[in-house]
Amino acid sequence: MAVAGGTILQLLFPLLFAWYFWRRSHNFEAAVVGVWFSESLMYTARYLGDAQAQELPLIGGHVHDGHYLLGHAGLLEYASGIGTGLHVVASLLAVFCVWLAWKEA
């Protein structure tokens, strides 16, 4: 939790807002927050994709979270592919959320 706490909060915060709006049948608001979640997921994908190369500058720490987590999971050599796949999923989700917001507007 200490290693991935920032990423978890970055993704959890918009998810909680989206769930809040969706439960109250505010679909437009949920879709807009879904775009926010998708963007956060894109940043996470970029960060995970950099886990092996570690070229991105670190802010607030000296340990690359993605490198640590993927290394311990034995997936470090697949970091680039994981990042790309996650970015594709996040992009598709963003397009879906924009479409849903447009439909609800």
Run of H or E including 74? none
User: CA-to-CA distance for 73 and 47, rounded, in angstroms?
Assistant: 16
Q: How many CA atoms lie within 13 A of 98 on its CB side?
A: 8
Q: How many CA atoms lie within 13 A of 51 on its CB side?
A: 25
- In tens, the pLDDT along 12-52 reads 999 999 999 999 999 999 999 999 999 999 999 999 999 99
- In tens, the pLDDT along 94-104 reads 999 999 999 99
Question: Which pair of structure tokens corresponds to residue 8?
Answer: 């978890």
What residue spans define the domains of the chain? 5-104
Q: Check if the beta carbon of residue 69 is closer than 8 Å to that of residue 3.
A: yes
- In tens, the pLDDT along 52-72 reads 999 988 777 678 889 999 999
Helices (H) and strands (E) in the chain — how many of each?
4, 0
- Phi/psi for 51 (5° steps) reads -60, -40
